[in-house]
Amino acid sequence: MAEIRVENLRKSFDQFTAVERSNFTVPDGSFFAMLGPSGCGKTTTLRMIAGLELPTDGQVLLDGEDVTFRRAAARDIAFVFQLFALYPHMNVAGNIGFPLKCQGMRRREIHERVAETARLLRIEHLLSSKVSKLSGGDRQRVALGRAMVRRPKAFLMDEPLGALDAEFRHLMCSELRDLHDRINATTIYVTHDQLEAMSMADTIAVMNSGRIEQIGSPQQIYDRPASMFVADFIGSPPMNFLKFESGLRAGERSVSFRDLTLAVPEVREERAPGPLVLGVRPEHIRLSNSAPVRGRVFGAEYLGTTQIVTVDTAYGRVAARLPSSLSVQIGESVGLSFRSERLVLFDAASGSAIRTANFGDAGHG
């Protein structure tokens, strides 16, 4: 298997820059997800790594070797697409073994490799089935098998589960991660679906308009978003933002607005006292009669064990994840208290997270 590294990778189409200078390393055997909204440059980055697109600038390194100008077929990397382009006239074994046949491998060896691949994917019982008769999930397994059978150095997957329905996607996520743990293949997985990225990846790069906003573990990205974009993109419902006109300097521990003073984590960076945004995840909010932030309940969405209660406050609408057993009435006046050690502060002008005592340096940048 292989380490994949990209250095200052950039791609422009005429005047338009699809990928700004990107830098990241995917260690050997790691599962790396590129996550972001449609059009943010995920596929273009992946195609440059695969050798299907020439970068405008920068380098792609495979195990430390510069492969930037090496053609796709000579990179020994497998690409798995959303659209599983299988050969309908062949059975499953024929489809999986096809790349080896093209390489001129002997029949007996092809047979062994196909059997081994099918065993890993747990589809041995389907080997003689026609692919046109398979379910979407099984077709995706066959497509994966065709990529795996060559034993490539790494897998690049571009929204491979996008064509499946939601329930099946979830099942395939755990299967893909399980498969990854068994074969330990370096994998880069592109998706716009945060649940896919969060449930499978060791490391996630969150992209926005051609730029990488943050690289970190799923937990770092969720708990310590480096920017308001990341905080808003990850989480359902996303992080709440409360805007404060008054700024904070290094060492300060509370923020005041109108007649409200709120304890916040100590600011650990030198900064001009501009407006700031206080970020709080819905599960870090409680109802409390004595809480200083007050508002009226706008709605309540029942989700089984929890409910999402939305409250209109002077700082905007806030969503709180509360136990379903708690009774709340629409229009009721409530107080909201926040777990101050979980608050994230952002600079309102740049949208970047401010370094604070609760999170230190890790995860920012």
With 0-12 / 13-18 / 19 or more C-beta atoms within 10 angstroms meaning exposed / middle / buried, residue 55 is buried
Applying CB under 6 A, among 8, 13, 171, 184 the residue interacting with ligand ATP is 13
Size of the site for ligand ATP (CB under 6 A): 11
The residue (of 39 and 273) whose beta carbon lies closer to ligand ATP is: 39
CA angle 95, 99, 101 (to 5 degrees): 90
Q: Which of 6, 33, 35, 36 binds ligand ATP (CB under 6 A)?
A: 36
Segment (H or E) for 233: helix 228-233
Q: Which stretch binds ligand ATP (CB under 6 A): 35-43, 75-83, 115-123, 169-177?
A: 35-43
Among 2, 6, 18, 179, binds ligand ATP (CB under 6 A): 18
Q: Which two tokens stand for residue 201?
A: 């990846």
Q: Does 278 bind ligand ATP (CB under 6 A)?
A: no
Nearer to ligand ATP, 18 or 26 (CB): 18
Contact residues for 156 (Cβ-Cβ < 8 A; gap 6+): 46, 49, 50, 77, 78, 79, 80, 187, 188, 190
Q: Is 160 in the site for ligand ATP (CB under 6 A)?
A: no
189 within 8 A of 31, measured Cβ to Cβ = yes
Q: Is 41 in the site for ligand ATP (CB under 6 A)?
A: yes
- Specify the stretch interacting with ligand ATP by CB under 6 A; choose among 32-40, 124-132, 218-226, 231-239: 32-40
Which range binds ligand ATP by CB under 6 A, 36-44, 114-122, 254-262, 290-298? 36-44
d(CA 303, CA 190): 29
Pick from 344, 78, 38: nearest CA to 187? 78
- 49 or 147: CB nearest ligand ATP: 49
Residue 4 CA to residue 60 CA, distance in Å, equals 7
- Of all residues in the chain, what percent are helix, strand and coil, respectively (each to 5)? 25, 35, 40
Distance CA 290, CA 261 (A): 13
Q: Which is nearer to ligand ATP, 43 or 117 (CB)?
A: 43
Q: Does 43 bind ligand ATP (CB under 6 A)?
A: yes
DSSP label of 103: T
Residues between 69 and 128 with contacts to ligand ATP, criterion CB under 6 A: none
Measured at the CA of 340, the angle between CA 337 and CA 342, to 5 degrees, comes to 115
Report if residue 33 touches ligand ATP, rule: CB under 6 A: no
* CA–CA separation, 315 and 279 (whole Å): 12
Residue 153 within binding range of ligand ATP, rule CB under 6 A? no
Stretch that binds ligand ATP, among 41-49, 90-98, 194-202, 235-243 (CB under 6 A): 41-49
Rounded CA separation 47/92 (Å): 27
Instruction: Indicate whether 38 belongs to the interface with ligand ATP (CB under 6 A).
Output: yes
Residue of 22, 30, 44, 68 that binds ligand ATP (CB under 6 A): 44
Q: Which of 2, 40, 148, 264 binds ligand ATP (CB under 6 A)?
A: 40
DSSP for residue 28: T
Contact positions vs ligand ATP (CB under 6 A):
13, 18, 36, 38-44, 192
